[in-house]
């Protein structure tokens, strides 16, 4: 198809009718998903976004592997170290390394401080050894993407610097990515469930049920979300374990996100109820359930996928904002918002700007999901 279109645009000369017919046949024979894929491929921004999203979820799957330093181990003496540049060549040879640090005692304050030691070259390797972790809670290993040939990774490599407690920001970022993106995913799944259920009921049965559900949606939407989130999140007792807080945060975020989803689903149901193929299925004596799941849902599944992708950024921002305020996830949990909490003091940030680094993945992820969602939404209507 793509080639055929290029050939069409390439010349003003009418191309061979046979070729055109072949293209037409291919289009008419293609499944809905093929059509979507063809259309999606044309949206370059969405394609790039898809690759970025895949990249993010690879990090989610292998967060500990990408980290090289135990993200929970703090060392006050390594507090607020600046990021180290990677030097790729050593005496004309390709040997990526960073300059290590040596502890010295400050002659005036007698504090132990770390300074860059140009003599202490730490050569980076792939698949080096580091702290021990369990991959997916199953396999115990101590292999990481980055290691150091000579010496201990944890004491010498700080690619993005360290935070106030002397923890390596790069490694924490990897784990934070895992937390923040799974929260978004679970939140979306929950709101999808609520949205499809209530939106479906609303669109399918109409009448008073539709009226009530629509009113509820209106009320929920007119309440300012962040104060409500804050109130709900503030209600979580401080002594709760991380996992429970994590679960409740997703629940809170999903509580508000479902309204958009419900509207999409309801709209599609209303539109499809009038379609000929639904009437045909009814006349053929198909059961209600069969009509819904065999005929209606597949035809708007693509819309739901697009809506899901567009809902994710809001979830990510919500979690980040809440955690940033200290009302969401709390230490020892690590999320983008938790990391950014340290950047809330502007004077401190001016001196140690690397504390703002976690803002970058937030922005990139939100952008990527938006572009992906846009592309999917356009592709969802392959006949439109």
Partner 1 sequence: MSEQLISEQQLIELTQSPILSVQNLRTYYHQDEGVVRAVDGASFDVFAGKTLGIVGESGCGKSVTARSILRIVEESGRIESGSIWLRRENASGQIDEIDLTTLDANSKEMRSIRGDDIALIFQEPMTSFSPFHTVGNQIIEAIRLHSDLSVKEARNRGIELLRLVGIPDPERRIDAYSFQLSGGLRQRVMIAMALSSDPKVLIADEPTTALDVTTQAQILELLHKIQDERGLAIILITHDMGVIAEMADDVVVMYLGRVVEQGPVDNIFHDPKHPYTQSLLRSIPSILAEPRTKLATITGSIPHPYNRPSGCPFHTRCPDFMRGTCDQREPQLLPVGPDHKVSCFLYHP
Partner 2 sequence: MLNYILSRLFAGIITIWVASIISFIVIQLPPGDYVTAYIANLQAMGTSVGAGEAEALRIQYGLDQPIYIQYFKWFGLILTGNFGMAMEYNRPVAEVIGDRMTLTIVVSVAAVLFIWALALPIGVYSAVRQYSLLDYFFTFVGFIGIAVPNFMLALIILYVSFKYFKVESIGGLFSPGMSLAPWGWDKIVDLIKHLPLPAIVLGLAGMAEVVRIMRANLLDELRKPYVVTARAKGLAEHKVIWKYPVRAALNPFVSTIGYIFPFIVSGSIIVSLVLGLPTVGPLLFKALIAQDLFLAGTILLLLAVLTVVGTLISDLLLMWIDPRIRLGMEGSN
CA 350, distance to chain mean position in Å, is 28
**1, 20, 129, 164: which one contacts partner 1 (CB under 8 A)?**
20
Q: Is 12 in the site for partner 1 (CB under 8 A)?
A: yes
Looking at residue 291, the DSSP 8-state letter turns out to be: I
Which helix H or strand E contains 127, and what residues bound it?
A: strand 112-135
Choosing among partner 1, partner 2, none, which partner's interface includes residue 366 (Cβ < 5 to 8 Å by kind)? partner 2
188 C-beta neighbours (distance < 10 Å), count: 27
Positions in 239-268 near partner 2 (CB under 8 A): none
12 versus 108: smaller Cβ distance to partner 1:
12
By CB under 8 A, is residue 353 in contact with partner 1?
Answer: no
CB of 44 to partner 1, least distance (A): 13
> Of these partners, partner 1, partner 2, none, which one is at the site of residue 353 (CB under 5 to 8 Å by kind)?
partner 2
DSSP letters, 149-186, are: SSS-HHHH--TT-B-TT--BHHHHHHHHHHHHHHHHHH
* Distance between CA atoms of residues 63 and 74, nearest Å: 19
Which H or E run includes 21? helix 17-29
Q: Is 28 in the site for partner 1 (CB under 8 A)?
A: no
User: Which token pair is 43?
Assistant: 């949206």
Return the residue of 8, 52, 301, 317 that touches partner 2, per CB under 8 A: 317
Nearest to partner 1 of 39, 178 (CB atom)? 39
Shortest Å distance, C-beta 6 to partner 1: 10
DSSP code of residue 108: T
Member of 47, 228, 251, 270 binding partner 2 (CB under 8 A): 228
Stretch that binds partner 1, among 10-18, 66-74, 262-270, 303-311 (CB under 8 A): 10-18
The reply to whether 113 sits near partner 1 by the rule CB under 8 A is no
CB of 17 to partner 1, least distance (A): 7
- The site partner of 325 among partner 1, partner 2, none (C-beta below 5 to 8 Å per kind) is partner 2
Q: Is the peptide bond before 332 cis (omega within 30 degrees of 0)?
A: yes
Contact (CB, 8 A) for 90 and 97: yes
Q: d(Cα 157, Cα 338) in Å, to the nearest integer?
A: 22
Q: Give CA angle at 279 (278, 281), nearest 5°.
A: 65
Residue 1 binds partner 1, judged by CB under 8 A? no
- The residue from 2, 14, 136, 140 that contacts partner 1 (CB under 8 A) is 14
Dmax (CA) of the chain: 91
Tokens matching residue 249: 């945060």
Hey, which residues between 319 and 358 contact partner 2 (CB under 8 A)? 320-321, 324-325, 327, 340, 343-344, 346-347, 349-350, 353, 356
Residues that bind partner 1 in the complex, under the rule CB under 8 A = 5, 8-9, 12, 14-15, 17, 20
């Amino acid at each position: 198809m793509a080639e055929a279109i290029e050939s069409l645009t390439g010349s003003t000369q009418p191309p061979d009718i046979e070729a055109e017919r072949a293209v037409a046949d291919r289009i008419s024979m293609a499944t809905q998903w093929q059509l979507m894929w063809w259309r999606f491929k044309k949206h370059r921004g969405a394609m790039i976004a898809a690759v970025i999203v895949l990249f993010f979820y690879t990090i989610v799957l292998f967060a500990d592997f990408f980290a090289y330093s135990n993200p929970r181990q703090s060392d006050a003496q390594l507090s607020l170290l600046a990021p180290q540049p990677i030097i790729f060549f050593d005496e004309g040879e390709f040997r990526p390394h960073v300059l290590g640090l040596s502890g010295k005692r400050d002659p005036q304050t007698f504090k132990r401080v770390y300074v860059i030691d140009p003599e202490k070259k730490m050569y980076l390797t792939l698949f080096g050894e580091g702290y021990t972790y369990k991959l997916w809670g199953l396999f115990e290993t101590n292999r990481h993407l980055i290691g150091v040939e000579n010496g201990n990774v944890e004491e010498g490599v700080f690619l993005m610097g360290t935070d106030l407690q002397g923890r390596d920001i790069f490694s924490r970022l990897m784990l934070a990515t895992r937390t923040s993106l799974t929260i978004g995913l679970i939140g979306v799944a929950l709101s999808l469930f609520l949205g499809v259920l209530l939106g479906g009921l609303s669109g399918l049965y109409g009448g008073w049920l539709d009226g009530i559900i629509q009113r509820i949606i209106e009320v929920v939407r007119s309440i300012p979300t962040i104060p409500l989130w804050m109130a709900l999140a503030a209600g979580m007792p401080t002594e709760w374990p991380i996992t429970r807080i994590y679960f409740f945060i997703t629940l809170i975020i999903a509580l508000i996100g479902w309204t958009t989803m419900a509207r999409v689903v309801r709209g599609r149901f209303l539109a499809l109820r009038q379609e000929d193929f639904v009437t045909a299925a009814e006349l053929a004596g198909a059961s209600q359930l069969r009509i819904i799941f065999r005929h209606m849902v597949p035809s708007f599944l693509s819309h739901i996928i697009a809506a899901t992708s567009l809902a994710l950024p809001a979830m990510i921002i919500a979690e980040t904002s809440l955690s940033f305020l200290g009302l969401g996830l709390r230490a020892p949990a690590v999320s983008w918002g938790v990391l950014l909490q340290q950047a809330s003091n502007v004077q401190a940030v001016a001196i140690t700007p690397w504390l703002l680094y976690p803002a970058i993945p937030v922005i990139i992820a939100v952008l990527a999901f938006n572009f992906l969602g846009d592309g999917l939404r356009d592709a969802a209507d392959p006949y439109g």
